[in-house]
Amino acid sequence: MSAGAALAAVVVPVYNAAAYLPACLAAIAAQTMPDFRCYLIDDGSTDGSGALCEQAAAGDDRFFVLHQAQCGVSAARTAGVRAAKADGVDWVAFCDADDLFHPEFLRTLIGAARSTGLPAACCRYDSFTDTPPQDAPVPEEAQRMLDPAHLDALLHDHRVDFSLCNKVYAAHILDAADFDNGFAFNEDLMANWQIFSKIEGCAFVDFAGYHYRQHAASASHRPLAPASIDEQRRAAIYIRQHAGPAMQESADAFYYEKLVYLASMILRRSDADAYRVQLGELCVGIRAGLSDKRLGRNPRLPLSIRISAVATVHCTALWAAVCRRLLKDRR
């Protein structure tokens, strides 16, 4: 890459995102903190995205392109992190190729991490379909979430969320193993769990610094693959098994909420019968946990989840009708 280390890196996995990539790259180029490198990892695109990456790199010497055979988003992120660390950057951020950064994203989150003395910082995200939301003013105050509060927020606070893309990380805390975690679904959650488990806390700035685009091919609109259900459950089991004593109650609640959430996502579908094996396994776990103080009677469990759990196993048909009417897929 070019000589001289930049302060920050933005890693963008790119796969067949030609329709949205120019807007994504324009938002990155418009950052008010210009001392960054953007690593575009073309993951075997076939729609011209690779050429768009090359055009961006030709027009702005902060942009670099790595082409690879299609290996998936986790492998693309790993390649970007390796390149960024080899170039000596201090901070790493991630952006999906169809989404947008707030112009103050890098400046604000890196500033928050530095001012709090913590190796990571995050903000809220918002979502849009066609018209990006207006960029809101940025607060100067940052909240310090110290261990285990940052892990608890990762599991339960939707402002923090599972995503890698509404956060910045000190480069030295990132390892390839964080991303090569064996998950094709919930890979963001597992990467963040690994990263957050290594650090003493995370700063939080309360503004929508990341704009998530919802469209037919985006994560929240993809079909509910049976493998996704199995992997989300496996991720929750892993977290429950590896949580420390200070996080056990939180992890138990997260696991049970995940069972109820997945069952609800199946029941809302018109083809729920195609998932009867997965639904049966989830209902066994939900039923067994109803009277368990660690699960269905966990004080961290929201009342809405407790009600949903009872409805799922005791009045399934009625609850399925409610789910079909009221629930939407969550990222």
pLDDT at 79 over 90: yes
308 SS3 class: helix
Torsion, Cα 154 208 137 134, to 10 degrees, reads 180
Give the closest residue to 7 by CA, choosing from 122, 92, 89.
Answer: 89
Contact criterion met (CB below 8 Å) for 218 and 224? no
Which has the minimum average pLDDT: 17-21, 49-53, 190-194, 228-232?
A: 228-232
**Angle 316-326/248-267 helices, nearest 10 degrees?**
90
Question: Which comes out higher in pLDDT, residue 244 or 4?
Answer: 244
Q: Nearest CA to 204 among 272, 120, 136, 264?
A: 120
Average pLDDT over all residues of the chain? 94
Residue 218 has pLDDT above 60, yes or no: no
> For residues 153 and 105, what is the distance between their CA atoms, to the nearest angstrom?
20
CB neighbours of residue 242 within 10 Å? 12
pLDDT band at residue 17 using 50, 70 and 90 as cut-offs: very high
| CA-closest candidate to residue 124, choices 92, 108, 173 | 108
Per-residue confidence (pLDDT) for residue 200, from 0 to 100:
98
Give CA–CA dist 15/43, Å, rounded.
Answer: 5
Evaluate if residue 331 carries a pLDDT over 50.
no
- pLDDT, one tens digit per residue, over 252-310 is 999 999 999 999 999 999 899 999 999 999 999 999 999 999 999 999 999 999 999 99
Which range is least confidently modeled, 52-66, 176-190, 215-229, 242-256? Answer: 215-229
- Helices 187-196 and 73-86: crossing angle, nearest 10°? 40
Residue 224 confidence (pLDDT): 77
DSSP state of 99: -
Confidence of residue 174 (pLDDT cuts 50, 70, 90): very high
The answer to whether residue 219 scores a pLDDT higher than 80 is no
Structure tokens that stand for 63 in this block: 């942009």
Q: Report the C-alpha gap between 3 and 235 in whole angstroms.
A: 40
Q: Is the pLDDT of residue 329 over 90?
A: no
pLDDT band at 223 (very low <50, low <70, confident <90, very high): low
Rounded CA separation 1/63 (Å): 10
Rounded Cα gap, residues 153 and 143, in angstroms: 12
pLDDT of 32 strictly over 60: yes
pLDDT value for 226:
86
Domains of the chain plus CATH, in order, are 8-219 (3.90.550.10), 223-326 (no CATH)
For residue 3, pLDDT beyond 60: no
Helix (H) or strand (E) holding 189: helix 187-196
Does the structure show a pLDDT above 80 at 148? yes
Across the range 134-156, mean pLDDT stands at 96
Q: Are 12 and 28 in contact (CB under 8 A)?
A: yes
What does the pLDDT read at residue 225?
85
The amino acid that residue 277 corresponds to is V
The pLDDT, as a whole number, for residue 21 is: 98
In this predicted structure, the answer to whether residue 330 has a pLDDT above a threshold of 50 is no
Q: How far apart are the first and last CA of the chain?
A: 35
